[in-house]
Structure 1
Amino acid sequence: MSRRNTFAAMFVIAISWSSLTAVAQSDVTPSGDPVAPRAVRLIAPLDASEANSRRFFGRIAARETVSLSFEVGGRLVDFPILEGSAVPKGSTLARLDQEPFVRAQERAVLALEQAERDAERAGTLAASNVTSEVRAQDARTARDLADVALRDAREAVVDAVLTAPFDGIVAARIAETFSNVEPGQPILRLHDMSQVRVEIEVPERVLLNVGDPEAISFSGTLPNKVSVDLKLVEFEAQTGRVGQSFRVALAIPDAAASGLIPGSTMTVVAQLPQTDSGAILPQSAILAEAGGGFEVMVFRPGEGTTGTIERRAVRVFAPRGKAFEVEGLKPGERIVAAGGHLLRDGETVRIYDGLTVEEP
């Protein structure tokens, strides 16, 4: 062997020995002290059934809120109801000055009596050929018109009194007492409390993933901390302009709706259909294998806050935004949240519990 070949062989051996020495000394510092275990942050996978639950901010609402008005115009002289007061169906809410309507009714009565006399006289004259049949027909038409005018006058007297069309709560008084109002002018707003509801905004992606809103189970916590089941009543078949969410209305049981006022708040929990199994992990905790599979770094507890790392293959499916559903984990196991590619199987690590500052 030539001197050149001998030197090359010795160089390769030296490099190999240096590499082996570096590997053997990778767990010690340059001074020979053991290297502190690498700190890792651990997470507990979320059960898929828990991930199917959503919490929403809800607002109490009436079945509907309507603006009430008079069908006739006049002077508002009686407006006794107060905002926030409960009113039964048929109770008087407001009243216009009755005198003009009573006088109009009396004029209509007199006009009808005169029209009836004219029609009778014209009919007699037409029968005697003193006047034409056309004039008799005109007289009968005038009588019929007078009868219609009387019915209108009587209805106007009734319409001058505004009554509650349903059991409700006065939301707001719009007009003022002794003011002149026009037909159709809103006088007050009334909440229909025959069915108390809670309205929530459900994100578009939630309803799209479920498909049928009827498959979602809803429950809510009332202001007095009582939990009740809620029933889906209706939802808007279009998203709002902001937030891409659907407004969903849920009915509160009558037994629990007493004392609830529109505008108050409650928490609503939506339980989505359970179609998945496994655990939910963030994307950062999942490692991709060279062969196309997936792995996670499982923490095996040791003494104190230390433990060892186990590299385990898992099945990944059902993406959930920035998280994934995985299979292959046991209940109670904790996973390295991020940086798993820097660890090796069997490596000793310690649990990261936040930054600490040593006192001098």
Structure 2
Amino acid sequence: MQVYAAPAAIASLLFAVSLLFAAGLLLAGRAGAEDGARVQDGGVPAVKVVTAEAAGAFETRSFFGRVRARETVDLSFEVGGRLEILDAVEGDRVDRGSPLARLDQAPFKRAVERAEVTLRQENRRFERAAKLMQSSAGSRVRLEDAETSRDLAAVALREARDDLEDATILAPFDGLVAERLTPNFTNVEPGRPILRLHDMSEVRVELDLPERLLIQAGDPAQIRFMVRMPDQDGAVAVRFVEFHAQTDRVGQSYIVTLAFPDAKSVFLVPGASVTVIAELPAPKAGLVLPASALLIGPERNASVLVLETSEGGLAGLAVLRRQPVDVRSRTGTRFLVTGLPEGAEVVAVGGHLLREGQAVRRYTRLVVEER
């Protein structure tokens, strides 16, 4: 599906642009052309020429992007206690598995010791009940009760050991410490956030892609993205990850997520701004011309002045021919025309001051007349 600007809108835009070009570039060009005409050919105007070229394979657009982490999580303890060590400095990078915070270990170690003692006691009771059962001095019910008590003591020991392990927060991934949320030596409850950690195992970039460009591309995975970081000349190729398949209510845009191929090759923090360069597939039909080369008629129809070689005239002269064209534009700054052969020479600026059939000379350089 192709989305183009309305013909009336294009015509109005071209008319305004042509006036701006005529007010600046043409006046200088005509002055140089008239001076050159007096020296070279006695009054034949010189015109600046542009060649109609095929559109490139891609259209380049630039967007504002913002760096973000793969995930941002608030870490907390699964058990309660007194926060003894919070070994996490904001802004530091941490490796997966490194300790970040720890509760006072003494109560949890004592709980493990009690559970171990209880388990040993229940094991002895179970062994006595088993011997009595074998000698017919005890009942099976007593043996089963002893076995149940032993199993419960084993479960309690595992829970005590898990609580001891949960009293220490380890980094779940290679990350960046974003914020300390709880001060040291504070009694904390289970689930209370202790610190915020960015998952920097994959550095990502988000941008708002306008709706019309997404429709033009069809599939955002077909768009080639590059990221240019501040104070760096080159751009880094990034890959498409996903896009939020719901448009923004105000800007009619979709949030597109990109990712750097190597997270360790760049040092970026979440929230940093970057420039995202998107290369979108360009339409195959049409030739590229500047807005100043397009002429708008009274009925809002577009045309150009084409240079044709003058037969039987002076060498280097050409005759102007008006050629109607169809104009398309997706962005309002890039115009594609149909109705011209590729390589056609067209008056680049000031065509509204010329007429069809007029003889002109190609303007190639300024001519200085010495007196």
Q: State the TM-score, normalized to the length of structure 2.
A: 0.69
What amino acid is the match of 1:197?
R
Shift of 1:258: 3.1
SS of match in other structure, 1:145:
helix
- The match for 2:11 is none
- The match for 2:262 is 254
Match of 2:336 among 317, 321, 325: 325
Give the structure, 1 or 2, with the largest relative contact order (CA under 8 Å, sep 6 or more). 2
- Map of 1:80-229 to 2, 5 A cutoff? 80-225=87-232, 226-229=234-237
Alignment deviations for residues 279-304 of structure 1 (CA, whole Å, 9 cap, x no partner) = 267699564798xx94325498xxxx
CA distance in 1, matches of 2:204, 2:350: 42
Match of 1:311 among 319, 322, 325: 322
Which stretch shows the higher mean deviation, 224-233 or 168-177? 224-233
SS of match in other structure, 2:208:
strand
1:295–1:314: 8 Å Cα contact kept in structure 2? yes
2:57–2:282: 8 Å Cα contact kept in structure 1? no
Alignment deviations for residues 44-86 of structure 1 (CA, whole Å, 9 cap, x no partner) = 8998449821101111222222221212121111012110011
Residues 1:187 and 1:255: Cα distance change in structure 2 (over 3 Å): closer
1:59–1:263: 8 Å Cα contact kept in structure 2? yes
Residues 1:195 and 1:170: Cα distance change in structure 2 (over 3 Å): same
2:306–2:323: 8 Å Cα contact kept in structure 1? no
CA distance in 1, matches of 2:185, 2:159: 25
SS of match in other structure, 2:325:
strand
Whether 2:53 is the aligned partner of 1:53: answer no
Match of 2:287 among 269, 274, 278: 278
CA distance in 1, matches of 2:112, 2:350: 84
Shift of 1:100: 1.0
Q: State the TM-score, normalized to the length of structure 1.
A: 0.71
CA distance in 2, matches of 1:332, 1:56: 34
RMSD: 3.7
CA distance in 2, matches of 1:230, 1:140: 61
1:234–1:249: 8 Å Cα contact kept in structure 2? yes
1:73–1:181: 8 Å Cα contact kept in structure 2? yes
State the aligned residue count.
300
Where structure 1 has 5 or more consecutive residues not aligned to the other structure, the ranges are 1-38, 301-307, 349-360
What amino acid is the match of 1:132?
S
CA distance in 1, matches of 2:101, 2:53: 59
CA distance in 1, matches of 2:249, 2:235: 32
